Amino acid sequence: MGKDKLMNFTALYNIGKFSWNDALINAKNFFNSLGIQANLVFYQEVLPLEKQEFDDGIREVSISELENIIESSKNIRGISLVFQKEDSPRWDLNFHYYFDILYPEQNYLIIEYSDEFKSINDSNFLLNVVNDISKSSYISYGFSCQLPYHGVKSYSYIDSQTSFVPVFSYENTNLWTTEVPSYLNDGIAPRRYLEGMLRLVYRYNFIVQKHLNRIIQGIKLQDWIHSDSSHGFLTQLANGLWCWEVEQENLEKVNQACYQADLLISYKVPSPERKKRKLP
């Protein structure tokens, strides 16, 4: 059997001063950086409540039509640029931005690309994409990880800002569901990631100074990261955003340390292994 494909998944939350035009420009740049042209384009229309039960408001359009809609209408709550190969069971590339005018706190940006286009280990590519976005916005929090490629059209359409599938065995995705504004909680949620907490520590974590000032083992997180190479390293991006990168083999120990420092939202204490009973 061959190796399962993986989808590189990046989520950015609470993006300030980011217009629909900014989103479209960054989406185009993302596809251009891969040398690929989007072959599916969508936007989501804001509909009256009485129509939402039968219509999700998602419309397929061309790039030029989307440009005109962005220029002439404020009646938008999401846009997606997508590439899907003919033989693919799901989308291979996706740049999706969502902003709900009814719940302004409910905004996020999702980027997905299968590992055949770029490996998640290509940090230069990922950091360049996120840095370009942060140049025209203020990102409060985000992360990047890998998820199974198969199963769904796109992770950005499964309660995008809430959950999808757990990345780690010690991850409780339900704890994140109540943390982020969504239709599930009428846009009212704690949003502790704005006060320096993390969903979990992933391969790449997009954080700001509030995160770096949190205390772990008696010192600031920023100093703790610098204190040991196994804690990862920091790269400064635009507009106060940092990328905290942690090698895959160190993630479990780093998550344990951050959980003990009360920095994590979705950490699930692993169940102790049951001892096997010997038959008499």
178 neighbors 38 (Cβ within 8 angstroms): no
93 neighbors 34 (Cβ within 8 angstroms): yes
The pLDDT, as a whole number, for residue 164 is 60
The pLDDT, as a whole number, for residue 160 is 46
pLDDT in tens, 18-40: 999 999 999 999 999 999 999 99
**pLDDT higher than 60, residue 274:** no
Q: What is the pTM of this model?
A: 0.91
Residues in the chain: 280
H or E segment and range at residue 151: none
Burial tier of 204 (Cβ tally within 10 Å: 0-12, 13-18, 19+): buried
Show the tokens assigned to 205: 């974590």
Q: What is the mean pLDDT of the chain?
A: 88
Task: Select the highest-mean-pLDDT range: 95-104, 108-117, 177-186.
Answer: 108-117
Question: Region 69-86: what's the mean pLDDT?
Answer: 90
**pLDDT higher than 60, residue 15:** yes
pLDDT in tens, 176-216: 888 887 766 777 788 899 999 999 999 999 999 999 999 99
Rounded CA-CA distance 96/160 in Å is 10
